[in-house]
Amino acid sequence: MNNCLLVTGGAGFIGSNFVLDWLSSSRGPVVNLDKLTYAGNPENLASVANDPAYTFAHGDICDAKLVARLLAQHRPQAVVHFAAESHVDRSIAGPEAFLRTNIDGTFTLLQAAREYYGTLTGSERERFRFLHVSTDEVYGTLRPNDPAFHEETPYSPNSPYAASKAASDHLARAWVHTYGLPAIITNCSNNYGPYQFPEKLIPLMIANALQGKPLPIYGDGQQVRDWLYVLDHCRALRAVLEQGRVGETYNVGGGNQRSNLEVVTTLCALLDELVPESKFKPHFQLVKYVADRPGHDRRYAIDARKLETELGWRAEESFETGLRKTVEWYLANSAWVESVTSGAYQQWVTQNYGSRDLAEAPASEAMAKEAL
């Protein structure tokens, strides 16, 4: 065994940022197993495609033989499991893919890792870890004055996506306690940053605003999320890999609670500043309220004190600094955005947003306009 990692879903948003961050610090080789579904983009990793420390394996995490072969061939020190169907709206439209990837795929990986772990001895056995990367959505929703989610918060998932991730968390925990697999679970808040597929809120709003397209906001826009800059998340995962306790769960949050309307308001003001020649200024005028999605969780918030206290991690980016870096990255990488917004993606946007009835602009819109 060497310092190699087997990363699943490493061509996706968080996974590709993690791979790039890991390789840039020369921590060891990476084998990236990715099926390259719509959100998995090999262009995210173009800068390391010819790096001898990087190996790409095109395949499905549900392929037990392939996973076993990669483990035996590369003998990694850890499996870092990002691969997941992750978009709530897509889980509502078609939940089957979420159950297959998030539940069956995680089961396949856990079984393969368990068998591989059984072949290890000595220091190799002591060092091996299975890091299961999950979401705060497994905890359900919070009322305005509820305390933030902590590691002991009961699971209460409200969407097919959240339910499938909750199931995968339970599997990982069961493989620790039943089979002794040295797994650790992390549950993170909403990530944002470079390479995020533009179906998620922030990159969707950037792409639409630059083209003068409507900026669709669900309901009254007062759904609150805790926003975590993706490279802060990558730092947290490295800390958990290096120092985290087997069988434990660590919540990862940015400490930046913002409503969706606040996010879009701040983003529009940034675009007004950074793209002064835009024909669509002020960009907030493009906001369009649409009917809310079914079962939309009202608020998420993460208590990351366990991670901070035990492992010494702190988020380095505020929401303002992280969002500025994100907008600047998308402005500098318009070719990447164009390459991922294919015809199939446009069909999805039309399906998800075009069929929704317009919602009446809520009173909170006036407050947002005052902030501009």
Question: Of 103, 367, 143, 113, which is closest to residue 246 (Cα–Cα)?
Answer: 113
Residues 299-330: b if buried by 16+ CB within 10 A, e if exposed: bbbbbbebbbeebebebebebeebbbebbebb
Give yes or no for residue 357 having a pLDDT over 90.
Answer: no
Q: Is 248 a catalytic residue?
A: no
Q: Is residue 229 annotated as part of the catalytic site, yes or no?
A: no
Which amino acid does the sequence have at 13?
Answer: F
Is-contact 124 130, C-beta < 8 A? no
pLDDT band at 347 (very low <50, low <70, confident <90, very high): low
Nearest to 40 by CA among 191, 197, 194: 197
Range 148-157 average pLDDT: 97
**Of residues 349 and 281, more confidently modeled:** 281
> How confident is the model at residue 306, as a pLDDT?
98
Residue 255 has pLDDT above 50, yes or no: yes
Question: Is the pLDDT at 319 greater than 80, yes or no?
Answer: yes
Of 137, 220, 297, 308, the catalytic one is 137
Using only C-alpha atoms, the chain has a radius of gyration, in whole angstroms, of: 20
pLDDT in tens, 83-132: 998 777 788 889 999 999 999 999 999 999 999 999 999 999 999 999 99
pLDDT cut 70: percent of the chain above it: 91
DSSP one-letter code for 338: H
Q: Which of 139, 161, 218, 300 is catalytic?
A: 161
At residue 275, does pLDDT exceed 60? yes
Pairing mode, if any, of strands 129-135 and 78-81?
parallel
State the pLDDT confidence band at 351, using cuts at 50, 70 and 90: low
The domains of the chain, with CATH numbers, are 5-197+228-252 (3.40.50.720), 201-221+257-297+319-371 (3.90.25.10)
pLDDT tens digits, one per residue of 285-301: 999 999 988 888 899 99
The secondary structure of residue 155, as a DSSP letter, is: P
**Active site residue: 89, 136, 297, 365, which one?**
136
Q: What digits encode the pLDDT tens for the residues 27-47? A: 899 999 999 887 788 889 999
Cα torsion 221, 304, 79, 20: sign = positive
Residue of 265, 190, 266, 195 whose CA lies nearest to 224: 190
Task: Kindly state the tokens that stand for 246.
Answer: 């087997």
The pLDDT of 253-282, averaged and rounded, is: 97
Residue 211's pLDDT is: 94
Mean residue pLDDT of the chain comes to 91
pTM, 2 dp: 0.91
If you count DSSP H runs as helices and E runs as strands, how many of each does the chain have, helices first? Answer: 15, 12
Catalytic annotation on 34? no
**Other Cβ atoms closer than 10 A to 347:** 11
Confidence category of residue 344, pLDDT binned at 50, 70, 90? low
